[in-house]
Structure 1
């Protein structure tokens, strides 16, 4: 089976091809993202999108797109594609596409009369530079190529309009030009591996529209500046390489750099696992300050909870122990700093939320399951102890250990859990008090720590303390959360209990150390399976519960109200698989494998080779939100790894 190859019949059908996006990153925050027909449909799309720390923490679109034109016998055939006002697509270059293949590097094959040409794109690792290789496979007469760069120089979350502040000046550099449209931006260097002719012919292309932004209720029209065009001849069998980056490069090195980058791509996206492994590595984010995981593309940064949830699957499940340890080093440093000073971290967002220490324990717990208790104790034993001491001593300003052994947090005015939708500054789901997943993670963390140090005589008093708290937690957990219908209420705050059927109970069902016995877990899991399970993950609310809203569409406010009211989340399949296998053992493997088919189908949908942030809770379970989401990719990888062990 070829996962990521599409023929001309599919490519020329814009209704089918425009919704499919592709993503490439440099593992340092920069990316290239567009549709498979190279028509940008989001303001975050672009050939070269980079972070500019000197300006802000957002990404910035430098080079939006590059229109190619094939010229033979004086006739010009433009291969570009843009959507303009009035539902007009131009210049309709997609009609020349014969094949798109994304198993290794994105490759598009064009046929224009007797001309057959391929285009391949490579993003340079840890460098803000993209290379595009054009190869003339066949031609029966002299051929000339023209290239028109569409420049943006703007924040990826904003739009550009025609203006007179823009600096039209450019400088000639080796085999190309450089320019800087606005003050504060780096220069953009556009070069070729052989000398082109640059014709300065500045124009604004007005009214370019972005379909996805229009669907989401955002401004969706912009004007892009084209300074002119490059022109150069190409011979049959010849390859021309275009480079766009923020530093000047040596044209002689383009072919070597391209081949080196190609050689580093060891694993083609030729299977479900390989697609997800490549996708996982695209979230790697290395800076001078440390190693991190981005929460998703194209608009998420580094967020503490997402990083801890995604980390085991995005690293350990693909055999990358070093990246796990590098990211954990940065995470531990940031969390320790917050625990000691109360200060936020510049690089990891939301590290002050009350469940972050609990998810950190969860991540270390999964490291121990993968690498063994002894190695885990050596690497992270002290970190586990310090987190538990911090919680027990009441160090967190919004995480309180009550006498009944349960953790309490105030979430009435500010979101405190992963269900973090906000409208007008207030939580859509004001989960407050005793949260079910907080206390499931807490109990597991206590028992895990006790097991981690069970053989350490010097830690005997600590182990005794943790077990004593866990005993109280277990008794209170069952009394507080388990209802007469066999499932767990979502949260309890005084006399108020939220009996909505939500997936947060899965956390407590999934862990090795659970306050519930096997019979109680089985009964609760049956409710989850019956009311929340879909082919694309676990619903955030049961269709039987009040307020069910399965479709994540409309304005931002409408989407916020729907965010956790029914749409399905793939990352929760990790907890579901853990819980299911604890109940049914090896006999549950075939069922879980069937449930993963929906995610395998997703490899050729939305962002090809990756998994969207969320999916509608009702058929046809359309992908929504961010096109590639780290927690989803990581947890599905972890499930695949788990099932593999059962099948060995």
Structure 2
């Protein structure tokens, strides 16, 4: 089912849009390079987060991402008058106020900001070449009645992205000459950075600290929010009308012309977009941005192969990877990467578990009960797209068998399968599902026992393995899996059906202790390929979900009628953790919701049209605010459903792609 191309996903702003400058600061861009590095800031370049900066790169030996080049202050000199294009927030003031010179901003695949000072027009663009820890800043004189002098002052942070820099005596301020620029190696144990221009420039060393850059988003989030940045000096470049210069910041010396790097990256982007030419918007834009979350090469079996859970502050997480694979790789025409990532995780299967958080230095964390079963769901998506049963058998079947063997034999330390065939996991002190927030070491949303989505995923995995690969299984193992499956089928609906609320219990601990909170987790028992819930009851449960949880930007994590519901996600870390799964809207749930709706629909084509129109605010409006072209982690639970949480979340982005792709079928 095809839909009309009725939206232009290129984001355009003019001076009128920027008049309410503080409000406009909520518009951000994000560029990534496939290594875990990124560039991110507001569209005006005024940092509002400690995570903002022009070049953040992974430093493997420190197992962290470091913000190296925070910003480059730019100005022009025309007729001996200096005009600043930059803007920063300091305590009580914005300085300089370069945003007053902005004529327009356009963001498609990368940001382009056009500044006008009388008859002089400068266009500033940012690119991050894929696979390299490099940022390219291009300044083009579109109009100029006489030669101008462009001044560029780099500012270095050189600190972990989760921390802030302070003026210190340990910095090594010396710069070393390089062609059209310099190298600086400011701290031990961190890589040097090369800053070079594409053609002749003059660099004037003038090392200095600028203090008290203020990041308002961090203040709102209850964190320290001021830092000091170091500037080694200033570049000066002469430009005439029609000329341009690129400032290249990189961990490597320029081996070819920055202009060539620029054109090569543009060609790569164009080629990638052409792959999705058969899709309509917004899928073209969403799919083009999908590889922003992928890190590592498809042939890499190391722990760094996977999906960044969200930019700018999350790393590679197993749960998020399994949920995101279908949307970010399979639906984007890269099933080979799907199989490689699944293989990398399978290689780290241990006693029935898969790692949830991954580290370059090793020591993965095996602390979730859902990741192993989400692994099966990801494989189902892969098989549905490719039919590659042979590849799955050769590369993934041993891990699949080990996972179910360990769980059904009760060898997983924090889980057991009861005689009723239900899977019980954790205790009052643990958080093993995706609703895992803790405050002062205690779960905010206790879900120990038989959680509804865990059991749905467990059953789906049992049926998938025995039905699809039963002929390859040991007879004794196959018989054991079949017995658990039958017991589960007999018990599930009677154990989980909540007659009073006409939906499924969220957690069952015993026949007398059941959590009746209305949450979206039950969607997995309605929408997975294999489920125990009857179609009639699934439709009734969906009606309850639609009444209590459904919004145009995702599903609430808890019904507003629940005493534990929190109607605002904001405040300090503790306040946000308490609200995380107590009402906040999660965009990623639209995927499994769509599965459930279409699985139970009497007229799927009509429902597809309705779903696309209903969720339009999620992909139309919310990719035009916040982090442009990406889907947020969270949205406030009350209208107007403002975006919050992580600005660019992998599973949100992925599941919106999967949903829209499914609605086009």
The structural deviation recorded for 1:587 is: 2.7
Match of 2:3 in 1: none
Match of 1:9 in 2: 16
The structural deviation recorded for 1:465 is: 3.8
Contact 1:273 1:637 in 2 (8 A): yes
Residues 343 and 537 (structure 1), Cα distance of their counterparts in 2 relative to 1, 3 Å cut = closer
Distance 1:445 1:198 in 2: 62
The structural deviation recorded for 1:341 is: 11
Which of these residues, 351, 367, 387, is aligned with residue 372 of structure 1? 387
Residues 457 and 179 (structure 1), Cα distance of their counterparts in 2 relative to 1, 3 Å cut = closer
Match of 1:280 in 2: 290
- DSSP-derived class of the 1:63 partner: strand
The structural deviation recorded for 1:401 is: 1.3
Match of 1:45 in 2: 52
Which of these residues, 436, 441, 445, is aligned with residue 425 of structure 1? 441
The structural deviation recorded for 1:150 is: 1.2
Residues 511 and 612 (structure 1), Cα distance of their counterparts in 2 relative to 1, 3 Å cut = same
Match of 2:265 in 1: 261
- Mean Cα deviation higher: 463-472 or 109-118: 463-472
Residues 196 and 350 (structure 1), Cα distance of their counterparts in 2 relative to 1, 3 Å cut = same
Structure 1 residues 436-471: Cα deviation after superposition (integer angstroms, max 9, x where no partner): 1110111111112222036x3876665554333212
- DSSP-derived class of the 1:32 partner: strand
Contact 1:368 1:376 in 2 (8 A): no
Contact 1:436 1:505 in 2 (8 A): yes
Contact 1:570 1:632 in 2 (8 A): yes
Match of 1:204 in 2: 209
The structural deviation recorded for 1:138 is: 1.1
Contact 1:377 1:453 in 2 (8 A): no
Distance 2:540 2:157 in 1: 55
Contact 2:437 2:445 in 1 (8 A): yes
Which of these residues, 138, 145, 164, is aligned with residue 143 of structure 2? 138
Match of 1:406 in 2: 422
Which of these residues, 299, 302, 308, is aligned with residue 322 of structure 2? 308
The structural deviation recorded for 1:9 is: 1.6
Contact 1:10 1:16 in 2 (8 A): no
Distance 1:342 1:333 in 2: 10
The structural deviation recorded for 1:345 is: 5.6
- DSSP-derived class of the 2:622 partner: helix
Which of these residues, 346, 350, 354, is aligned with residue 332 of structure 1? 346
Distance 2:91 2:357 in 1: 44
Q: In the alignment, does 2:494 pair up with 1:479?
A: yes
- DSSP-derived class of the 2:176 partner: strand
Residues 366 and 339 (structure 1), Cα distance of their counterparts in 2 relative to 1, 3 Å cut = same
Match of 1:626 in 2: 646
The structural deviation recorded for 1:133 is: 1.3
Which of these residues, 614, 618, 624, is aligned with residue 604 of structure 1? 624
Distance 1:174 1:48 in 2: 21
Report matched runs for 1:522-561 at 5 Å.
522-561=539-578
Residues 351 and 126 (structure 1), Cα distance of their counterparts in 2 relative to 1, 3 Å cut = farther
Residues 337 and 630 (structure 1), Cα distance of their counterparts in 2 relative to 1, 3 Å cut = same
Distance 1:255 1:11 in 2: 31
Which of these residues, 64, 69, 72, is aligned with residue 78 of structure 2? 72
- DSSP-derived class of the 1:232 partner: strand
Structure 1 residues 128-168: Cα deviation after superposition (integer angstroms, max 9, x where no partner): 11111111111001211000111111111111122222221
Q: TM-score scaled by structure 1?
A: 0.95
Distance 1:504 1:319 in 2: 29
Q: TM-score scaled by structure 2?
A: 0.93
The structural deviation recorded for 1:338 is: 5.5
- Mean Cα deviation higher: 514-523 or 583-592: 583-592
Match of 1:636 in 2: 656
Match of 1:389 in 2: 405
Which of these residues, 191, 207, 212, is aligned with residue 186 of structure 1? 191
Alpha-carbon RMSD across the aligned residues, in angstroms, is 2.1
Contact 1:303 1:351 in 2 (8 A): no
Contact 1:569 1:614 in 2 (8 A): yes
Distance 1:507 1:113 in 2: 59
Distance 1:346 1:78 in 2: 42
The structural deviation recorded for 1:70 is: 0.8
Match of 1:105 in 2: 110
Match of 1:31 in 2: 38
- DSSP-derived class of the 1:2 partner: coil
Gap runs ≥5 in structure 1: none
Contact 1:304 1:350 in 2 (8 A): no
